[in-house]
Amino acid sequence: MKSNLSLFYGIGLILIGIVLFIPQVFGTGLNADELSLLTVSIIGIFMVISYFISEKKPFSLILFGTLFFFLGLIFFYSIVNGWSVWKYIAPSPLFILAISFYLTYLIDKRHPYGFFIAAIVLGIVSLCIFIILSIIFNETMFTSIALIISGLLLTCTSLIRKKSVQSSPAKTAESKKATPARGRSAKN
């Protein structure tokens, strides 16, 4: 497994190097700031993927990987479209942190409710700020995107929970058949 992980990181470093090298050769319109933020997003993707490859599975790979990915994209959007859009997307870092906590809660089952509670609180606060800003600036695009993402996450959660509830009774019935009753000998 360790050779797969080093191979994965090696390919990742090569791809990041290519992303940084291509604009210098072909003279594309991306500047160093934009490329560095895209690189941060790519590093975030590799962190999340390495969670699934790793044997130890530290939850920090999911948490920081999603943070790097989404924050890199938000700041890339801000640089490309000008920092004046920041007044509309100011609660985005809070919302991204809520998404990161929520995805960590969904994927890593070792921390059942701590990440979930933090995700709900941060999500509600950031959605309220999005709504207030959309009323003040009369701009509803980012609020609607935040509401759509929230709805998708809640829908995915209900589908995942339905799947786990349907599969868990079968597993418990199989485990009861496989394990003998305590206190009884095999001869009885």
Q: What span, in angstroms and rounded, lies between the C-alpha atoms of 114 and 37?
A: 30
Q: What span, in angstroms and rounded, lies between the C-alpha atoms of 154 and 11?
A: 34
Residue 49 CB coordination number (10 Å): 14
pLDDT band at 178 (very low <50, low <70, confident <90, very high): low
Residue 150 CB coordination number (10 Å): 19
Those residues whose C-beta lies under 8 Å from the C-beta of residue 97, and which sit 6 or more positions away, are 67, 122
Helices (H), the chain: 2-26, 32-53, 59-81, 86-89, 92-107, 114-137, 141-178
Rounded mean pLDDT, 22-46 = 73
What confidence score (pLDDT) does residue 27 get?
60
Provide Rg for the chain, Cα atoms.
22
Q: What tens digit of pLDDT does each residue of 129-149 get?
A: 888 888 888 877 777 888 888
Residue 51 CB burial class (10 angstroms; 0-12, 13-18, ≥19): buried
- In the three-class reduction of DSSP (H, G, I as helix; E, B as strand; rest coil), residue 108 is classed as coil
What confidence score (pLDDT) does residue 78 get?
83
Please determine, for residue 43, whether its predicted confidence score (pLDDT) is greater than 80.
yes
Q: Evaluate if pTM is beyond 0.75.
A: no
